[in-house]
């Protein structure tokens, strides 16, 4: 174990934790900041799941880092109907201020000196009142706008109607839901821009920086500095287009249109087939550097990977066994992060960008419990002119979350069997 840590295992563990925390934090921050701007009460901002390792409270929000870093959440008041925090007929103890408003709610053990009674009714979407059966009769109390529910050691702020998620205008709620995936896309562009800024972006039109000896390019007479204008008559506007043209013609001669020192001529080259079955000729691209090029490259890379991800999603439904072969669960992702951490920081940054984009797109799928499903409910609300019953929507998301957990466990099992 010690030898494994000394040979890079510790670096891999740190890389996995940092990558997941960055991805989750930026995603949840998107929901958090837009919800705050919209006036929604945000009682909790948590990175990870399970017991809290570290927590502090600033303003009305508790921030925490939890034991298991594979996830996180932002608690938005009213996203789950607050009435579900209570059970009709249970005995509660409450503190009431001088204005007659309930300020604290707990079971009798949590507030032994409070007013105790049986819960008869609670309304938190409009009137914001709680009705208790006391010894001398039934009393209805207004709830303070700063009321707190005591649940063991937890203090959960309760939100008045104007601070609840589902009471906000439809467009505001849509913005809150989409803000998480949007921030992941922004992170992807930034990280790809960093990578492009370091290694440079291929010149346009594409040009050769170096030629590998004893390769088809060297045999054909290609030189460093050659500008690649066309392949088989098709104009080349970028390096990726040139790579695709070469990869698609293994063991077939192609005609390159070359510009060299102001002169243009055609040069035949025959790509060889590599171990993956695609063509290669043995050249590297000439690159340019600069802030503008880095930003443009970050956007271009993000768009290219977006297309690849959607192609992969399509394969899940059109190719047999693609679910098993192409997808990766937590174990496989952790393994890949560890591998890239050993190869260097730039590789890790590039992988983090890809994972961030995957997280954004996956969250936008219309799967219950994900952001895409919540957005779909809002679209339905916009079409029909009234919201779906919050309790029914919550039930759908709860079932979806349970299914996602089962899927994750199953996918983890497949990862383990494939790796070992």
Measure Cα distances from 151 to 74, 107, 110, 409 in Å: 18, 8, 8, 30
DSSP state of 158: -
- Residue entry with tokens 């029909």: 384
Euclidean distance between CA atoms 41 and 206, whole angstroms:
52
Residue 382 has φ and ψ, to the nearest 5°, of -65, -35
DSSP 235-260: EP-SHHHHHHHHHT-TTS-EEEEEEE
Please state whether beta strands 137-151 and 102-106 pair in parallel, antiparallel, or not at all (unpaired): parallel
Are 373 and 367 within 8 A, CB to CB?
Answer: yes
Both ends of the chain: CA-CA distance in Å? 18
345 backbone φψ class: left, alpha, beta (φ>0; ψ -120 to 50): alpha
Q: Is 28 a catalytic residue?
A: yes
CA dihedral angle for residue 232, residue 235, residue 238, residue 243, rounded to 10 degrees: -10
C-alpha count within 13 angstroms, C-beta hemisphere, residue 244: 9
Single out the catalytic residue among 28, 101, 104, 229.
28
Positions annotated as catalytic residues are: 28
């Amino acid at each position: 174990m010690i030898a494994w840590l000394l040979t890079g295992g510790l670096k891999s563990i740190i890389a996995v934790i940092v990558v997941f925390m960055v991805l989750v934090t930026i995603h949840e921050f998107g929901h958090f900041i837009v919800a705050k701007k919209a006036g929604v009460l945000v009682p909790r901002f948590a990175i990870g799941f399970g017991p809290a390792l570290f927590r502090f409270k600033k303003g009305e929000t508790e921030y925490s880092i939890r034991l298991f870093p594979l996830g996180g959440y932002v608690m938005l008041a009213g996203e789950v109907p607050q009435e579900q925090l209570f059970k009709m007929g249970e005995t509660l103890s409450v503190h009431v201020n001088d204005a007659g408003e309930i300020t604290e709610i707990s079971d009798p053990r949590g507030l032994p000196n409070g007013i105790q009674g049986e819960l008869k009714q609670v309304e938190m979407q409009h009137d914001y009142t709680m009705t208790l059966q006391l010894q001398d009769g039934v009393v209805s109390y207004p709830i303070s706008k700063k009321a707190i529910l005591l649940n063991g050691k937890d203090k959960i702020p309760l939100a008045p109607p104007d601070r609840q998620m589902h009471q906000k205008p439809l467009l505001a709620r849509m913005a809150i839901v989409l803000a998480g995936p949007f921030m992941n896309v922004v992170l992807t562009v930034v990280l790809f821009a960093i990578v492009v800024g370091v290694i440079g972006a291929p010149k346009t039109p594409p040009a050769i920086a170096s030629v590998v000896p004893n390769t088809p390019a060297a045999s054909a007479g290609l030189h460093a500095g050659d500008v690649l204008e066309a392949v088989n008559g098709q104009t080349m506007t970028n390096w990726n287009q040139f790579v695709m043209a070469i990869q698609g013609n293994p063991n077939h001669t192609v005609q390159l249109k070359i510009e060299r020192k102001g002169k243009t001529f055609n040069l035949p080259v025959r790509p060889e087939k590599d171990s993956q079955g695609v063509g290669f000729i043995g050249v590297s691209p000439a690159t340019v550097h600069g802030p503008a090029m880095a930003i443009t490259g970050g956007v271009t890379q993000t768009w290219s990977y977006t297309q690849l991800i959607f192609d992969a999603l399509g394969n899940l439904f059109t190719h047999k066994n693609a679910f098993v072969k192409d997808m990766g669960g937590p174990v496989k992702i952790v393994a890949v992060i560890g591998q890239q951490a050993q190869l260097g920081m730039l590789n890790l940054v590039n992988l983090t960008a890809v994972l961030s984009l995957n997280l954004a797109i996956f969250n936008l799928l219309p799967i219950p419990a994900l952001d895409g499903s919540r957005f779909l409910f809002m679209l339905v609300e916009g079409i029909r002119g009234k919201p779906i019953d919050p309790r029914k929507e919550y039930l759908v998301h709860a079932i979806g979350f349970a299914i996602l957990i089962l899927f994750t466990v199953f996918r983890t099992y497949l990862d383990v069997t494939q790796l070992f």
